[in-house]
Amino acid sequence: MTVPSPTVATTGTGAAAITADNFNSYQIGGMKLADARGFSGVQNQTIYLVGYSANNDGGQGNFVWTLGTGTDDGGITTIVPTGNTSGYWARTNTYHNSYTPQTVDNTSGNVTMTAANVTNEVLICKNGSTPTNTFPSAASIISSMAGMQVGSIRDLLIINENSGTMTLAAGTGVTLTGNTFTMATATQRLFKIFIASSTTVTVYG
């Protein structure tokens, strides 16, 4: 697809025909992961996912069609349509200039997570059985969320790839509010990290 020159559409007779490039430059919305895996685009075409399998389940975001060979990671960063070897959907991030999903290795058991683990939007916990992973201190979380002020909020998608139930625990200055902070194996949940004051953080889940 060649990106067309920006134009303002008007109603009337004698208007120029709308080209394929014009149509393909429109973003396709309302999709979920299964929809994207069934749709191959053209270079620079964009789509919007409303969620992985349900609206606002943590998978929502913009993706751009990119030429080349990609590895499907379930929509965390990449979606590869079934049978396609020439291109893939790459997530574009609207919050940071760089985007690196974090991992916590629970091979040795319980882990105190780092600020980077919980402020980069996607965290995969794996290689353990039934660990307890503790949030870092509120001070370290706030320090790592550069430019965020009291009242700011950030999404955190946690994926449990451990073989059993994982428990999340609060660090110093951190309050956990909402559902029970346990996650069964092979599940994912979206949490909200809220800067409650200059020294405290609330995690909603």
pLDDT of residue 86: 92
For the beta sheet containing 102-105, the strands, ordered from the edge strand earlier in sequence to the opposite edge, are: 102-105, 122-126, 153-161, 187-195, 201-204, 174-177
The two three-digit tokens of residue 58, written as one number: 């943590």
* Among candidate residues 146, 104, 103, 129, the one with its CA nearest the CA of residue 184: 129
Tokens 């319980």: give the residue.
110
* Among candidate residues 51, 100, 74, 54, the one with its CA nearest the CA of residue 186: 74
Residue range 146-154: mean pLDDT, rounded: 74
pLDDT top residue among 9 and 188 = 188
pTM over 0.75? The answer is no
Q: Residue 4: is its pLDDT beyond 70? A: no
* Among candidate residues 130, 125, 79, 132, the one with its CA nearest the CA of residue 104: 125
* Among candidate residues 159, 168, 167, the one with its CA nearest the CA of residue 187: 159
CA dihedral 169, 171, 172, 174 (to 10 degrees): -80
What is the average pLDDT score of the chain?
85
pLDDT of residue 118: 93
pLDDT of residue 95: 47
pLDDT top residue among 152 and 48 = 48
Residue range 146-162: mean pLDDT, rounded: 83
Q: DSSP secondary structure string, 13-70?
A: SSPPPPPHHHHHTSPEEEEEHHHHTT----TT-EEEEEESSSTTSS--EEEEEEES--
Q: What percent of the chain has pLDDT over 90?
A: 50
Q: DSSP secondary structure string, 124-139?
A: EEES-SS-EEE---HH
- Which residues lie below 8 Å from residue 163, measured CB to CB, with a gap of 6+? 128, 129, 130, 185
**C-alpha pair distances (Å), 98 with each of 15, 33, 91, 101:** 42, 23, 12, 10
pLDDT of residue 186: 93
